[in-house]
Chains A and B, each alone.
Chain A
């Protein structure tokens, strides 16, 4: 095909008009695609291959990379920090995703029934989604400060409850950051659930009601099964988001990124520090490959569930 197009372009000045319409179409198509193909090759495909290759090298960015086989992966699997980060990342994912899915579904379910002020209330929930994560991380960080600066602790004090350490604690740091991420993503999930709910024909509900089904039975037997594709999409979308969490953690723990004692550090922050603080580019590449494999597994899981439906 490529040959055809180059021949066509070569003949363009004199023989262009003699070409058949379908040949002209082919020439036009490859002309339109030339720059994008170059772009995707240079900015997406080549770097992807390079990332896999670099993960097999020892490279500090100054001296040339030396091939060391699977050594980086061996080091990674033996690195206790990696396993802690791995645990943190999956804590974000496995706790953050169900909470945000359930919350957004309940809100969307009731919001769908409300006519008065619908758009206004929807906007209230949606607004946080449009904010800059790096900026909002600082607002939340301020909320979590010890009394009398932090609002949450001031409120706790008003009700006579003890002040909490939040970001300074090895137990509360991760949930405190996760809450910020759930807050930021909730509006998007609500909108998607609303779209899913609106797509269910009203006649289904009426028919069920005529048959004497209660609201809960309708929810369980009609609404939830019909929303399955939407829910799967959101579970995958939200999981990927938590798996790649970075902006909030970096900004909320900037004095000791991922701290205290690495208890809030997700995989992407570890990659960032390995690559751009320690300049262990090969080792960091191996970590990015691990991130890719997890994402790949999640996407394949989605396809598998959708297919076996």
Chain B
């Protein structure tokens, strides 16, 4: 590789154009296709009849929605889908509200003990969920929360990660704005809700997407806390469904596709927020 004269390196281009890039592009593209192959085969097989699943053609010879009709008419998948949606939405709303309220208080109020509170909340990030499930299970069984929506939801209603993420953004809100609102006679709750919250919407949307996806795909705790099939979330329901279908792979792929479609739709609609959100959360977190 010879060095190009410095004159053609402009401020706008970080890298020079090289023929090697075409090779790199092609390899990256092939790699990308390999990455989505499992998803493509899942959808393709979900559109095949039982007799065609040994046929590895990507586009089914005679595509059919029969599998979807069979899976959905059973009723259980609809129920699990609604369970998962309800749980993910409620937990997300709760996290957005409480995590930002706590984060705002810790970022913008002066009171003795705020550092201690922040460190205490942050320290819970060190404790893995797996360590808490046995006490949570004990608590749920004592309080009658086993096999209930609340039992599935309660551990996630507030998160230390959300507090940590939001606090960094509330710190960037200028105090002058809050002071002006105070002079205008707004109370502290209104200042938070009407002035500070709209200023951190990018962070809120990132937190919302993280929380929703995390709860939509959650498996471990819902598996433990529910035994009543009517209260299964979609991942837990799918797991039990797949075990009972055993070798009917086209049915299992249909179930897996139903669990995957919502997250893909979210990605299509919010792609920019998600990629930026991962960068925000990842780099900071």
Contacts and interface: CB of A to CB of B under 8 A. Distances in A.
B158 A142 contact: no
A127 B252 CA distance: 20
B131 A126 contact: no
Contacts, number: 276
Interface in B163-181: none
Contact of B111 (A1, A114, A121, A272): A1
Contact of B224 (A44, A110, A122, A276): A276
B221 to A, nearest CB: 11
Contacts of B255: 135, 138
A183 B219 CA distance: 18
Interface string B126-151: 11101111111111000000000000
Interface of B: 1, 3-4, 6, 9, 11, 13-16, 21, 24-25, 27-29, 31-33, 35-36, 38-39, 41-42, 45, 53-54, 56, 98, 101-102, 104-105, 109-114, 117, 120-121, 124, 126-128, 130-139, 154-155, 157-158, 160, 188-189, 192, 213, 216-217, 219-220, 223-224, 234-236, 238-239, 242-243, 247, 249, 252-253, 255-256, 259-260, 263-264, 266-267, 271, 274-275, 278-279, 282-283
Given A37-B117, A139-B41, A29 B109 contact: yes
A296 B126 contact: yes
Given A110-B28, A111-B28, A135-B256, A32 B219 contact: no
A170 to B, nearest CB: 22
Contact of B28 (A114, A132, A145, A196): A114
A28 B109 contact: yes
A33 B33 CA distance: 48
B54 A29 contact: no
A132 B53 CA distance: 23
Interface residues of A, number: 100
A211 B192 CA distance: 52
Contacts of B256: 132, 135-136, 138-139
A76 interface: no
Q: Which of B25, B160, B213, B216 has the most CB of A within 10 A?
A: B25
B101 A32 contact: yes
Interface in A26-84: 26, 28-30, 32-33, 35-37, 39-40, 43-48, 50-51, 54, 61
Contacts of A195: 279, 282-283
Contacts of B4: 209
A165 B260 CA distance: 28
A228 B71 CA distance: 48
A233 interface: yes
6 contacts: A28-B109, A40-B124, A61-B138, A149-B249, A188-B282, A196-B283
Interface in A272-309: 272, 275-276, 281, 284-285, 288-289, 291-292, 295-296, 299
B54 A149 contact: yes
A272 B239 CA distance: 16
A210 interface: yes
A291 to B, nearest CB: 6
B15 A54 contact: no
Given A130-B213, A209-B6, A251 B242 contact: yes
A133 interface: yes
B235 A135 contact: yes
B109 A114 contact: no
A25 B109 contact: yes
A22 interface: yes
B132 A44 contact: yes
